[in-house]
Amino acid sequence: MTDRQKIAVVTGASAGIGRAAASALLQQGWRVIGVGRDAGRCAEAAAALSALPGADFTMIRANMALLGETARAAAEIAALAPAIDVLLNNAGGVMAERVITEEGHEATFASNHLAPFLLTRTLLPHLMAAAAQSEPGSVRVVAVSSTGHEHCDGIRWDDLNFAEGFVGGAAYCHAKLANILFIRELARRLAGSGIVAHAMHPGVVASNFASHCDAPMRAYMESIAEQALTPEQAADTLVWLASAPAPGRSSGGYFHKREAVPCSAAAQDDAAAARLWRESEALVAGY
């Protein structure tokens, strides 16, 4: 085992939970590579995070609703970091209206599921390289999901693009279910590799998350605003999953406030998890 500096990749690092997690890991002495979409927020976050004492931070800009940009960001990360200790798939969001990207994917599903699937798949050799130099369970992949997954009964296999009956909140819950199923199958595939995979629910967060919601979801978010956590509070479990010893002793879990919590029956469907992996492989083929 080596004493090299640990490296984390954090998507959505330009604001909210991702920026708070990046800051916390930098303050623990990690090297952090962030991914963000908005140019202004990326520049502001990069300046602030790089100014932390001893910080080694790099920001990469990419719109993760686009697989081409996700693949380009993955290539840039791979060039910067031959070995990656932690991948925090935090970026995502919700759309008020159905948007089909120039690549032909519904934007909510693309940014919340297909992009982290592609990023993880591309960076897996770099995670494996870190695992070969580390104690088992030290290398981790974490997905930020949501209790919203409980409101989705299953993956819409015949309509992943929500051509029928699009509602922004429903599309978001569908993608959050996909996050947990992805982690479940990833954990199964990586069993014995030294890499663990977990999902987490951050709670209600005071951030810009709801700015793109449709009216019903925005109203719901406003109704529970008094429960909102700061990004730093919400990022606590994400950082714990990345760096604490305890999460390294299991894989395929779903966590909230540093505790393993139940997920829905649909999120525990191993056959669906395996099928989603196959479907996702087909959708990201060529990237």
Residue 123 inside a domain? The answer is: yes
131 in any annotated domain: yes
Known catalytic residues? 172
Task: Determine the structural domain holding residue 175 and report its residue range.
Answer: 7-284
- Decide if 48 is inside a domain: yes
Please say if the pLDDT value at position 225 is more than 60: no
Confidence of residue 12 (pLDDT cuts 50, 70, 90): very high
Domain count, the chain: 1
Task: Tell me, yes or no, whether 2 lies in a domain.
Answer: no
pTM: 0.92
Closest by CA to 253, choosing from 184, 191, 189, 201, is 184
Look up the CATH number of the domain holding residue 175: 3.40.50.720
Tell me how far apart the alpha carbons of residues 50 and 57 are, in angstroms, rounded to a whole number: 6
Tell whether 23 is covered by a domain.
yes
Model confidence pLDDT, tens digit, residues 176-196: 999 999 999 999 999 999 999
- Full DSSP string of 188-257: HHTTTTTEEEEEE---SBSSSGGGG--HHHHHHHHHTGGGPBPHHHHHHHHHHHHH-SGGGG--SEEEET
- pLDDT, tens digit (0-9, with 9 covering 90-100), for 30-53: 999 999 999 999 999 999 999 999
pLDDT at 221: 53
In a domain, 136, yes or no: yes
pLDDT score recorded for residue 168: 93
Helix H or strand E encompassing 8: strand 7-11
Band the pLDDT of 228: cuts 50, 70, 90.
Answer: confident
**Would the pLDDT of 268 be above 90?**
yes
Could you give the maximum distance between any two Cα atoms of the chain, in Å? 53
* Residue 86 covered by a domain: yes
Residue 253 lies in a domain: yes
Q: How far is CA 285 from CA 65, 67, 104, 120, 121, in A?
A: 16, 10, 13, 14, 11
Mean pLDDT for 61-72 is 98
